[in-house]
Amino acid sequence: MTRSALFLSACFVSIGALLSHLGDGPRMLGWALIGFPLAAGTMLGAWLWAWRDDDTDFLLRIHVGLVGGLLGTIGYDLFRIPFDIAGANTLAPIRVYGLWTTGSSGSTLWTDLAGFSYHLSNGVTFAWIYAIVMLRRHWAWAIGWGLLLETLAVLSPFGEVFAIRKATYGLVLAYLGHVWYGLPLGLLCQDPERLRRWRVFGVRAWGAGALGNTCVCAWFVLFQYAGVRAAPPSAITIGPESIRPTWRDASITESLQLTNPTASELEVLVRTPTIGGHTIHRYSIAAQAQHDLVLDFPGIYQIQVFDRPWRSVFIAVHDQGRYRPR
């Protein structure tokens, strides 16, 4: 096996872990404990092999893919942030990745950081795949690569569990976001020498990419968690400023308490997953009271307050490890 094939095989482990989790295979926690370290070791071994043999072409592809992946992920996330602030929840899946990779039941600051790290690993490994195969091709090919990735996501168990196949608005945003992922990756791969010329505020491209992703991560964490307290176990706390936690992972055998600590009655909408999309249920929760939510079906539940500007929260419900709606 060539070093390129060895490196490419390791790149598929990141996204393979998510598809395995959603496709009734091994859980992401197992991949995080075993698969991710093995993949990282394989990549490092291939890089050292190339460095020993002075394979400058392979090393260039790895370098360009790393920077292109960082910059592409920045473009992808920056495009989605305004829509997320407006309430479209475009960054919501990132949070549940953290739950699944850490084996947690409720999202916290640390699970969100884990989710963002996993999201970034996907952006970089997809870029490595493109750079190894398509270096020096026209930049438009990278746009096509980004759109292909989204299409595969829609057709995969991800599209079924997250019910994005019929979400027209979400699909449009997802495809446009992948255009902004592919553009910087394509420009860099078309002209690898651009890597030496690109500077942002006097910082080389790789440094700008790392700095940009750090800023996105800081926004993701600090903006979302400012002044927010953690919710009690097995509960969704509604108000007064927000709903927490943003994600829970639960089984259909469990019951969650929707707690209203505010001084007024709240109308709560719960979108329950079905194989054809979702159904919407409305509950009235009195002030200082709670409502027990029965989780009857696997899939992604969404909870939000009717006619309030609060962000919604999500519950990933599984039936013996199966998240697909039935």
Instruction: Let me know if residue 262 belongs to a domain.
Output: yes
The secondary structure of residue 231, as a DSSP letter, is P
Q: What is the pLDDT of residue 202?
A: 42
100 — pLDDT class (breaks 50, 70, 90): very high
pLDDT of res. 110: 85
Does residue 289 carry a pLDDT above 70? Answer: yes
With a cut of 90, say whether residue 309 has pLDDT above it.
Answer: no
In this structure, are 285 and 212 located in the same domain?
Answer: no
- The mean per-residue pLDDT over the stretch 230-257 comes to 81
CB 177 within 8 A of CB 79: yes
Query: Most confidently modeled of 46-60, 124-138, 164-178?
Result: 124-138
Residue 25 lies in a domain: yes
- pLDDT score of 47 more than 70: yes
pLDDT tens across 59-95, in order? 999 989 998 998 899 899 989 888 887 777 888 899 8
Give the number of domains in the chain: 2
316 has a pLDDT exceeding 90:
yes
How far apart (Å, rounded) are the C-alpha atoms in residues 263 and 290?
13
Verify that 272 and 157 share a domain, yes or no: no
- Specify if 67 maps to a domain: yes
Q: What is the mean pLDDT of residues 294-298?
A: 87
> What is the pLDDT at residue 203?
47
What CATH number is attached to the domain comprising 293? Answer: 2.60.40.420
203 and 176 in one domain?
yes
Dihedral angle computed from the Cα positions of residues 77, 81, 84 and 89, in that order, rounded to the nearest 10 degrees: 10
The total number of residues shown for the chain amounts to 326
Considering the domain architecture, whether residues 176 and 33 belong to the same structural domain is answered as yes
Residue 231 token pair: 């919710």
Residues 259 and 113 placed together within one structural domain of the fold = no
Last residue of a domain, one of 206, 225, 244: 225
- Dihedral angle, C-alpha 297, 302, 306, 307, nearest 10 °: -160
Helix (H) or strand (E) holding 248: strand 247-251
Q: How far apart are alpha carbons 322 and 301 in whole angstroms?
A: 14
In a shared domain, residues 187 and 246: no
Asked if residue 101 lies in contact with residue 29, where contact means CB atoms within 8 angstroms, the answer is yes
Residues 147 and 217 in one domain: yes
Q: Kindly report the average pLDDT of the chain as a whole number.
A: 86
Q: Are 221 and 112 in contact (CB under 8 A)?
A: yes
The answer as to whether 216 is a domain residue is yes
Query: What angle in degrees, to the nearest 10, is found between the helix axes of 109-134 and 56-83?
Result: 130
Percentage with pLDDT > 90 across the chain: 48
Task: Output the six-digit token pair for 51.
Answer: 């460095």
**At residue 53, what is the residue type?**
D
Residue 111 has pLDDT above 70, yes or no: yes
pLDDT at position 92, please?
Answer: 86
Residue that finishes a domain, picked among 190, 225, 260: 225
Tell me the per-residue pLDDT of 190-203, one tens digit each, with 9 for 90 and over: 998 877 666 543 44
What's the confidence (pLDDT) of residue 197?
Answer: 65
Query: Are 45 and 143 in a shared domain?
Result: yes
CB atoms within 10 A of CB 278: 19
pTM, full prediction: 0.88
> Residue 211: pLDDT band by 50, 70, 90 thresholds?
low
User: Residue 19 is part of which domain span?
Assistant: 3-225
Q: Are residues 111 and 47 in the same domain?
A: yes
Tell me: pLDDT of 229 over 60.
no
